[in-house]
Amino acid sequence: MIKENHTVFSDFILLGYSELLDLQALLFVVFLTLYASIIIGNGLIIYITVTDPALDTPMYFFLKNLSFLEICYTSVTVPKILVNLVVEKANISFIACAVQLYFLLVFGGTECLLLAAMAYDRYVAICNPLRYKLIMSRQFCQGLIILFMGINMTFHVGQIYLVFILPFCCSHEINNLFCDIPPLLELACAKTYINTIMLLSASILFIIIPFFLIVASYVKIISVILKIPSMEGQKKMFSTCSAHLIMVSLFYGSAIIVYISPKTKESVDINKFLSLFYTILVPVLNPIIYSLRNREVKVSLKNLFKRQM
């Protein structure tokens, strides 16, 4: 079946926003600016969490890894998007498409699990503060990151294999800015129910279950916060969770619509925009949200800028 694919055509065409011919230069500038913002903003978060002893806590250990994932996540797609905006034919080879999709799924799935771990960290810090350092030890946090990466790297090998043994003999134009499973399955001229089951399984494992764990954690957190007698104390507790809640809402909201909601012809353009939202806009917003909503990060950034002046 793989040979059949290559006898018909050897690469895919990424349509992206090719219909907007007059705006290609503007889109290039926009995507380049966003990519630079992601690298600089998340790079700053990584730098301050590594160099500032005050941020040597489990919460900022997870934030550092989240920022690293955001850089890797966007680096899988944005450079190719930028190239396609300046070349005449926006093609991508079978192998390059498979590699891009694999790492997109690995980094995206790891981020989903990491956001759940960050919610658990806040749950332990607020609901069980006396045992916080014992439970959220450095070894435990590092083990979680290794576990999350291992699960994703193993699971998505099978996911990629099942997609790329499909015969793509009807069309090779992907209506998206990068390789993704839903638009690829639309091109297959064979039954894709096994792929649909795998996609649903991945959605349950990496989106639905972590999302409900996050919700359960915050239900417990809010119940504890509401028992605090002073409004000032409640406000302080909420402020430590607000940045994470915003990121969860933005990331999971768009990912759920793209991967779980029913597919219709009208939803194609919406999904194309939402895929941009969780792969580019959310990584741009990550350092901004944590800088504005987190007092320790703001203090550390101010100290960094003072030292540079």
Domain 2-308 annotated CATH 1.10.1530.10: no
pLDDT average, residue stretch 127-151: 93
Minimal CA–CA distance to 58: which of 147, 135, 113? 135
Task: Note the pTM of the prediction, 2 decimals.
Answer: 0.87
Q: Answer yes or no: is pLDDT of 3 > 50.
A: no
pLDDT score recorded for residue 209: 92
pLDDT digits (tens, 9 = 90+) for 7-48: 455 788 888 777 777 788 898 999 999 999 999 999 999 999
Q: Taking all residues of the chain, what is their mean pLDDT, rounded to a whole number?
A: 84
Return the domain boundaries, the chain.
2-308
pLDDT digits (tens, 9 = 90+) for 101-121: 999 999 999 999 999 999 999
pLDDT score recorded for residue 1: 42
Q: Which residues make beta-bridge pairs with 174?
A: 14
